Amino acid sequence: MPNVTVRRIPKDVYAGLKRDAKRRRRSLNAEILALFADKAEMARRRARAAKAMAAIDRIREEIARKYPNQPDSAELIREDRDSR
């Protein structure tokens, strides 16, 4: 298993990590590994979200090409509210 050495950790950051590890009943090493795992999971989620947004954008463009003269929904909502 690979190892990582981190140097020059600011004292307040180190103290915060130790405090969080103690609160979660983990070793400092386990706390740091959990942070790495959370960061990696967030990166995976962001990548999936970006992919989904790209697909949504493609679909939106396809709909706009197929139905070019659709009214703006904000205008329709405003018109409906003003009519009450």
Inside any domain, residue 43: yes
Distance CA 17, CA 38 (A): 15
Q: Check pLDDT > 90 for residue 1.
A: no
**Number of residues that this document lists for the chain:** 84
Distance CA 28, CA 18 (A): 6
Inside any domain, residue 15: yes
* Number of folded domains that form the chain: 1
Whole-structure pTM value: 0.67
Distance CA 25, CA 53 (A): 39
Inside any domain, residue 47: yes
Inside any domain, residue 6: no
| 31-84 pLDDT per residue, tens | 999 999 999 999 999 999 999 999 999 999 999 999 988 888 898 999 999 998
Inside any domain, residue 45: yes
Count H helices, E strands: the chain?
3, 0
- pLDDT for position 70: 85
Inside any domain, residue 1: no
Q: The domain containing residue 25 runs over which residues?
A: 11-82
